């Protein structure tokens, strides 16, 4: 199950008892994924979602506030990207008061969909959080994919976006989030408008704001996992770099010693250079520190390195 879907289902496990907050939730849901349709002379508003748990959640709210029963159905194009989509229809005749209360229908000039938000539903903090919750369920998508282990790298970046056909709606939605110090960006993509966040802390703030505490915990754990994985990778890279450096230096030293052997012989060197040369030939894969432990001459690391540089210089002069 995707992180986005899992977080939405988690949110729906918490009931909204306050009536104003319940209406704010419906308002966010209708504005984010509702559409006005017409069948003959009858108008209706539909909500389509692949979160099946959403419809029972909405049913309970509508039943409690208005006494109306709602039936959902599988939409005609019910299978999209292996997801089943469900459609909930609110005809204007039976749900007129509901649609007016949540601020999605205007009767001043016929019947039209209202894109501006009902500010009266967004006065209290709890109502604002419920509105954000409705929008999150209605039009949010996420590319977040968790890594299964600390050393695996299948995880993706942190990206959360809200997609809508209406630019003004996303502007108003972004203003609501800005009141909670959550700042995103809006851009246009293939005829849609997208409000997106790439800052993982902002994503965590939204999840905490709408009560997705398990998702917050999971995302924080993922942060720790990725940090650990990156730390291990840096350490491994550092070790590999040091190994490569040691091998490269050793090969260069062995080549120089072999050049001396094939030309003037090791016996032509001073005793300390002879011992260093023999030590390297016998331990070609060891680092300078390991060679110091094996040497019978009391040398420092810089002293040993100096002698190797001297051997390389002699070999270079012989080659020239």
Q: What percent of the chain has pLDDT over 70?
A: 92
CA distance 283 to 271: 18
pLDDT at 150: 43
Which tokens in the block code for residue 206?
A: 């939204």
pLDDT digits (tens, 9 = 90+) for 54-72: 988 998 999 898 887 776 6
Beta bridge pairs of residue 45: 36, 90
Residue 201: pLDDT over 80: yes
pTM reported for the whole predicted model: 0.71
pLDDT band, residue 127 (cuts 50/70/90): very high
pLDDT at 175: 92
pLDDT at 80: 57
Calculate the CA dihedral of residues 221, 227, 233, 235 and round it to 10 degrees: -120
Least-confidence region, from 21-30, 65-74, 191-200, 272-281: 65-74
From residue 115, give the alpha-carbon distance in Å to each of 24, 111, 194, 257.
14, 13, 16, 82
Domains and CATH numbers, the chain: 3-211 (3.10.28.10), 237-319 (no CATH)
Residue 153: pLDDT over 70: no
Residue 151: pLDDT over 50: no
């Amino acid at each position: 199950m995707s992180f986005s879907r899992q977080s939405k289902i988690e949110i729906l496990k918490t009931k909204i008892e306050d009536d104003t907050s319940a209406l704010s939730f419906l308002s966010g849901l209708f504005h984010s994924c509702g559409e006005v349709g017409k069948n003959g002379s009858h108008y209706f508003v539909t909500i389509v979602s692949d979160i099946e748990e959403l419809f029972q959640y909405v049913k309970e709210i509508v039943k409690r506030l208005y006494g109306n029963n709602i039936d959902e159905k599988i939409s005609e194009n019910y299978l999209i990207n292996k997801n089943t989509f469900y459609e909930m229809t609110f005809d204007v005749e039976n749900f007129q008061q509901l649609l007016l209360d949540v601020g999605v229908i205007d009767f001043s000039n016929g019947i039209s969909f209202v894109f501006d938000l009902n500010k009266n539903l967004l006065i209290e903090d709890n109502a604002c959080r419920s509105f954000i919750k409705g929008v999150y369920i209605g039009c949010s998508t996420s590319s977040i994919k968790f890594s299964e282990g600390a050393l695996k790298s299948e995880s993706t970046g942190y990206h959360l976006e809200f997609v809508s056909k209406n630019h003004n709606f996303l502007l108003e939605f972004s203003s609501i989030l800005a009141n909670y110090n959550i700042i995103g960006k809006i851009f246009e993509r293939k005829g849609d408008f997208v409000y997106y966040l790439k800052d993982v802390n902002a994503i965590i703030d939204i999840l905490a704001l709408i009560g997705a505490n398990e998702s917050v915990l999971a995302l924080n754990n993922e942060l720790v996992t990725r940090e650990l994985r990156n730390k291990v990778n840096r350490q491994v890279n550092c070790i590999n770099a040091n190994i490569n450096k040691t091998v490269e230096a050793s090969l260069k030293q062995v080549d120089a010693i072999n050049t001396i052997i094939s030309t003037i012989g090791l016996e032509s060197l001073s005793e300390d250079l002879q011992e260093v040369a023999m030590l390297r030939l016998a331990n070609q894969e060891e680092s300078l520190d390991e060679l110091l432990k094996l040497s019978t001459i009391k040398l420092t690391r810089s002293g040993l390195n100096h002698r190797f540089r001297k051997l390389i210089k002699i070999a270079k002069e012989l080659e020239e």
